Amino acid sequence: MYVILSAMDSNWLSFKFITRAKAIFWARIFILILFLIVFIVRDWAVFLGLDSVWAVLFYVFILLWTILFAYSVFYRKKEVTITYISLLLDLPFVVYLIIYTGGLRSPLFFLQLLYTMFFALLFTRPLTIIPPLMLLPVIAHIDQLVFVRGLVLQDVLLLIMYSLANLLLLYSIVYFNTQENIQHDEIMKLKDAMRELELSEERLRLSREIHDGIGATLSALIMQIDFILAQEDFGSAKKETEELRNMAEEGMEELRRAVVLLRTDFDLKNMLSNIVDRFRSRNDIEFSSNILLNDSRLKPDELLAIFRIIQEGLTNVAKHSGAKNVSLSVDIRESSFEIVIQDDGKGFDPSRCPENHYGIINMKERARLIGAELNIESASGVGTKVYLKRGPKDGN
Which CATH number characterizes residue 337's domain? 3.30.565.10
In angstroms, rounded to a whole number, what is the distance separating the alpha carbons of residues 371 and 287? 29
Statement to judge: residues 271 and 138 lie in one domain = no
CA distances from 23 to 65, 121, 254, 285, 304 (A): 16, 11, 60, 75, 50
In angstroms, rounded to a whole number, what is the distance separating the alpha carbons of residues 319 and 113? 80
Residue 68 belongs to what domain range?
10-151
Domain count, the chain: 2
The answer to whether residue 28 is domain-embedded is yes
In angstroms, rounded to a whole number, what is the distance separating the alpha carbons of residues 359 and 231? 38
The answer to whether residue 131 is domain-embedded is yes
In angstroms, rounded to a whole number, what is the distance separating the alpha carbons of residues 135 and 166? 11
The answer to whether residue 96 is domain-embedded is yes
**CB-neighbour burial class of residue 75 (10 A; exposed 0-12, middle 13-18, buried 19+):** exposed
The answer to whether residue 25 is domain-embedded is yes
In angstroms, rounded to a whole number, what is the distance separating the alpha carbons of residues 129 and 121? 10
In angstroms, rounded to a whole number, what is the distance separating the alpha carbons of residues 91 and 118? 12
Last residue of a domain, one of 151, 172, 195: 151
The answer to whether residue 116 is domain-embedded is yes
pTM of the model: 0.53
The answer to whether residue 344 is domain-embedded is yes
| Amino acid (one-letter) located at 396 | N
Statement to judge: residues 141 and 274 lie in one domain = no
The answer to whether residue 235 is domain-embedded is no
Q: What is the pLDDT of residue 213?
A: 58
Give the CB-side neighbour count of residue 336, counting CA atoms within 13 A. Answer: 7
| b/e per residue 109-119 (b: at least 16 CB within 10 A) | bebbbbbbbbb
Helices and strands in the chain, H and E counts: 12, 5
Last residue of a domain, one of 124, 151, 178: 151
pLDDT digits (tens, 9 = 90+) for 349-376: 877 766 656 678 888 888 988 889 999 8
- pLDDT < 50 stretches in the chain: 1-7, 394-396
Number of neighbours of residue 207 by Cβ within 10 angstroms: 16
Q: What is the pLDDT of residue 3?
A: 41
The answer to whether residue 62 is domain-embedded is yes
In angstroms, rounded to a whole number, what is the distance separating the alpha carbons of residues 310 and 308? 5
Nearest CA-CA partner of 155 in 141, 134, 169, 170 = 141
Last residue of a domain, one of 151, 169, 189: 151
